[in-house]
Chains A and B, each alone.
Chain A
Amino acid sequence: AQSVTQLDSQVPVFEEAPVELRCNYSSSVSVYLFWYVQYPNQGLQLLLKYLSGSTLVESINGFEAEFNKSQTSFHLRKPSVHISDTAEYFCAVSLLSGGYNKLIFGAGTRLAVHP
């Protein structure tokens, strides 16, 4: 069975510091990987996705994630965080089953950026 593990439930960090949110997955087949962000009282928004090709993917707001097949990881990084990055972040693996894509989510990492 496929699973997704987010190794940190909470990550406190000071503004302008770098951050890494860790994600490992278990899968015996090719996968599609996603990071979603959830701001307070909102639904999930797609942050970035890995489908194929370059193992480093970037989002428009400075986050990046690197697909590492040998370590089955897809860690999320940002070199300098802002207060507005405070949110919960979910890593997800897409499993193709029948005619649809089923997402398996990690438990989430709450990023708290302090001034």
Chain B
Amino acid sequence: DVKVTQSSRYPVKRTGEKVFLECVQDMDHENMFWYRQDPGLGLRLIYFSYDVKMKEKGDIPEGYSVSREKKERFSLILESASTNQTSMYLCASSPPAGRRSNQPQHFGDGTRLSIL
């Protein structure tokens, strides 16, 4: 079965810290995504990656960076955490587009990050 794992579920960090959120998928998917979910705003795309070592900015990349050293792992990095980055973060993966462009994204259970 499809599996996207976000190992850290409810981390609490301090302002100014460098924070790493990890995501691992076991489906051999090329595409991986990081979203931020806030009440009334739905999901907003932060960054995505369509291949190892490749990354593209999404709609709200400011204050974030990403790393994809291996196909199965996609890390979100908060360079210097701030209180306005307190949120739910969701990771997703999918096969590439083209002939299989109808493939939906598969989501992890989310990481609810608190910045104090």
**Which residues of A are interface residues toward B (Cβ below 8 A)?**
4, 6, 9, 32, 34, 36, 41-46, 49, 51, 90, 94, 96, 98-103, 105-108
Contact = CB atoms under 8 A, between A and B. Distances in A.
Given A9-B40, A99-B50, 17 more contacts: A42-B109, A42-B110, A43-B4, A43-B90, A43-B109, A44-B90, A44-B92, A44-B107, A46-B104, A90-B43, A94-B102, A98-B97, A100-B96, A103-B45, A103-B105, A106-B42, A107-B42
B108 interface: yes
13 contacts: A34-B104, A44-B43, A45-B107, A96-B101, A98-B50, A99-B30, A99-B96, A100-B31, A100-B48, A100-B50, A100-B96, A101-B97, A103-B43
Nearest to B50: A100
A34 B48 CA distance: 19
